[in-house]
Chains A and B, each alone.
Chain A
Amino acid sequence: MKNLFYTLLAILLVSLLLSSCKNNESKLTILGENSSNIHSMQALQLDYEEKSGIKLDFKSHSLEDAFNKSNEDFANRTGLYDLILQYNFSLSSFVRNDYVYKLSELKTETINNNFEFENDIFPNVWKEVGYYYKNPKQPNDKEIEPISYPFAANTILLVYNQDLFNDAEQKKNFKEKYGKELTVPNDLKSFREVAEFFTQPDKDLKGVVLQGAIGGWLYFEWCSFLQGFGGKVLDKNQGWQGNENTPVLITNEQAIAATEYYKSLKPFNAGNFVTTDAVEQQVILKQGNVAMGLIWSDYALGLIDKGNGEIDTRFAFAPTPGDKSMIAGGAYYINKQSKMKEEAFDYMVYLLQKENQVKMIQHGLCAPTISAYNAPEAQKIPYVPALKTSLLRAEYMLEAGPDADLINNVITTYIQKIWNSEIDVKIGLNTAKMEIEKERTILFQ
């Protein structure tokens, strides 16, 4: 017993000593969600480390953990992370709380003067995910400035099962039923027709798989349909804009029509809806008996990648029905507590160079630069053409102010109730509006 105790003690001391040997080399610590975006950065890790002599230390976590860790690191000023990859809903909080360097501050301190890539960034995306008020304490819509560069430009895409769409019998039956050719839907009317058509219980087929889960999935998807109807959640032009007085628009004609349309898809929907997030949607789509889905662009690679280097050719992609797409994505943020701000900025600039963006897009990045999509290597990726078209026409649709998560939660709550017929569409939207108006006031104080 004694020997065992001393052995254990020795193991403890030796392992602690070994692991505490600190390496003094320059190191950039990067925090982000475990996703194709960070994987694409890791794909260039060796190249960058060789060129710069700086070691890159990626800390990948789940979305929730990465969000909590970044916020706690900022708030406690522990400076654990130099570069943080966060989505657009964090922008407002990071700037208002003065946690991150602005581009203007970083540019003045770097010897790097090659910012040509800035002209290559999708302007609409950059403005939505990387700009903010010059003076957050006295916000003025005319006085805004770039805070950071986007690391990814995301949007929602329509994915469809080509095997079903190309099936001769299905084509024939569709023409007989609707008097027109079966094509990939480009408007909401034809989207519902196709969803209805492919709902064939005898063949165990469903028309669509919708994302009805909490965590933003339902809210994002509902917003996509709302956009198709020309509606908005709040009356403004950028996600990060607004104050406690910004009018809530979810009880207008467009919102009611969009919600009624959304609910009308219920008979054609596969899955459990309220448990269907992007992951569960992928699982259902891969089973091959659902015709369509609306998926986030940064989930597209996961859907078609078979894991053995092969691509699942059953799936093809198109812009969402309607003439607009929504903007999402995130930006690089340099921590004000970082001791490596110049290095972090140089690394950001390195990643945004065209040749690197082309390499990264092949590893799943939804690149924020336009030219990356034109590269022949990129064009071969099944979802890239649809993604480029979508990003070029993309507009603000999702909330990104301090009330973003509140709005997301309230809308999810009431749309779930509407979907489950616990509440009428109009009453549901009215209640949601009242709740948002009441609770968001506190968040702007």
Chain B
Amino acid sequence: MLKSLNIWKVCTIGLLLVALLVLYPFLSGIRFLGVSELLNNISFKSTLQTTLLNATISAIILVVFGFWGALALLKIPMFSITGKNLGVLIIPITLGNISIAFICKLLLGETSFFATIAQGGPVGKLSFLLLLELYQYGFLFVYLFWMQLQNINYDKLNFATATRFSFFQKLKDIYIPHTRNLWLLLASMAFVFTLYEESKIAYLFKVSQGTNSELITNWLTRTYQTNLLVSPDFARNLIFNASATVFVVAILGLILLFLILYYFIKKLTRLKFYPRFLRTSNNYIFSKRISYFFGLVFSLTAITPIVFSFTKINISFNISHLGFPLLMTFIATVVSALMAILLGITARLGWKQMLSSFSQQSLLFFILLFVLLLVPPLVLLITGYKWMSLIGYSSFTLIYVIWIVGHVLLTLPVLGSFVLFNHFRVGNNELDYLQVYKLGKRETIRYSFLKRFKAEYLLLFVICYSFVWNEAVLNNLFSDFIPSFVSGMKMLITGRGVDYDKAFGYLLTSFAVASLSAGIWRFIIERAHKQERKEL
């Protein structure tokens, strides 16, 4: 078994190495010349500071919102009608950055509220961006926390009720410890997503140095464009150096955020302090009625902007050319989801102790997994061009295969860590038990993973589809061969060829993908419910 476990390690390391190989042109292009000059560049330094601060604050707010939102929904059972329909909360994330920015522009672009923010300072703009992110990621986080809270052991809850735990006690001793891993996972994801935010703020507020509102991705893009007029090599060298600095700072920022949250949760949950004023029962704080009220409010907030956007524009429906990318997205999704599941299984089996939960020991593994996401997107685009110049565009088959492989690598950090997080539920005792009984690899995978996490894998598939569909870097790189939704939308809402009616036709595709995702997820839950009733 020990030997076979090494195979898992080799598989995992192999997958990670392939992911890291993508960065070769970037890593080999870093010269570290002029780094000190760069750090003395006021605009770079202040933009990086603002971006880091914004990402850290946003990540914390998003994850706190997700957790408290889930607590507000706690009394809604998973298989109640409302519970089954809470899947609409995943719709905003499936829309993607550019669609959300466009909807926001349609709905709020002409209001005095928007004008005040647009003409105001960076704090207002970043706060507005946070609101958009709460919509985009916050509802998904609420839903994930809520699903996680649904899995709390009944005995534990009954004990807490029988011994009249206060809300604070439940929070400290049950809810937070039970969701600890999810806190860390979602905070890390939120940090990365907000760190490299570009399109929403650029499209809505035309961020600039003049208004002190640039984020680091905007700075990098602008600097790259400026230097391209000298030569692409000159631009690439400068941007690789700047990006290397950003990359290192991003890793340090992520580690810091992870450790702060890790120790905060550890300290909080070990606290032996039960103040008198916090002894209110949670029945009074989040009653059933309040839960249903919040369920309704969250669901309506998730879908209302989409519904209202229909009233703002005439639709010009000409999206026939999106059929092919939809098919390719499906193929890439299948492959990416399978690879993420494979990584999740091999890593869990390969590092049984280390990857049994989020800890200081597993931090290095997750940082490695997140490396691709911590590289500025512009660098991925440039390295993508570089790789394609080496591989060549000689055959369509090759291009399609590379496109699919690219998506596998880009989605691996988020999807892989999501799968791994779910696999924490496969206990070490269980794995030891299977080992003692000499169960084969196939059986172990089938019984401990595939059968148990069927629903989670399907949710993964749904989320993966929207990630691939809304991905901006790789899709842009290959947009001449596989029409890209994001590039197409960008082309129709900015510049000389702007056509809001056509753009809305594009947006409809995004709505359809989002609705279909929510519908599929609703179907999966319904089936799980039937299965459960059958078993009972």
Contacts and interface: CB of A to CB of B under 8 A. Distances in A.
A297 B513 CA distance: 38
Contacts of B210: 214, 274, 412-417, 420
Interface string A403-418: 1111001001111110
A307 interface: yes
B395 interface: yes
A154 B117 CA distance: 33
A141 to B, nearest CB: 20
Interface stretch (B132-140, B147-155, B230-238, B356-364): B230-238
B112 to A, nearest CB: 10
A214 B206 contact: yes
B204 A34 contact: no
B39 interface: no
Interface residues of A, number: 71
A120 B208 CA distance: 41
Contacts of A65: 476, 479, 487, 490-491
A36 B496 contact: yes
Interface string A68-83: 1101101111101000
Contacts of A12: 331, 334-335
Interface in A312-352: none
A335 B501 CA distance: 35
B119 A273 contact: yes
B491 A402 contact: no
Contacts, number: 173
B354 interface: no
A60 B118 contact: no
B382 A93 contact: no
Nearest to B497: A34
A279 B494 contact: yes
Nearest to A31: B480
Contacts of B365: none
B157 to A, nearest CB: 34
Interface in B364-402: 381-382, 385-386, 388-389, 392-393, 395-397, 400-401
Interface string A397-437: 00001111110010011111100100000000000000000
Q: A interface, by DSSP: helix, strand, loop or mixed?
A: helix
Interface stretch (A14-22, A174-182, A192-200, A382-390): A14-22
A299 interface: yes
B226 interface: yes
A113 B319 CA distance: 43
For the complex of A and B, the 10 pairs showing the least CB-CB separation, nearest first, are: A416-B210, A34-B497, A76-B389, A35-B496, A75-B232, A214-B208, A20-B397, A213-B206, A272-B118, A405-B226
Given A39-B497, A89-B229, 11 more contacts: A11-B330, A15-B327, A16-B401, A22-B395, A68-B381, A75-B231, A76-B232, A78-B392, A78-B393, A404-B229, A412-B209
Interface of A: 8, 11-12, 15-17, 19-20, 22, 33-39, 59-65, 67-69, 71-72, 74-78, 80, 89-90, 92-93, 96-97, 213-215, 272-275, 277-279, 282-283, 298-299, 302, 307, 401-406, 409, 412-417, 420, 443
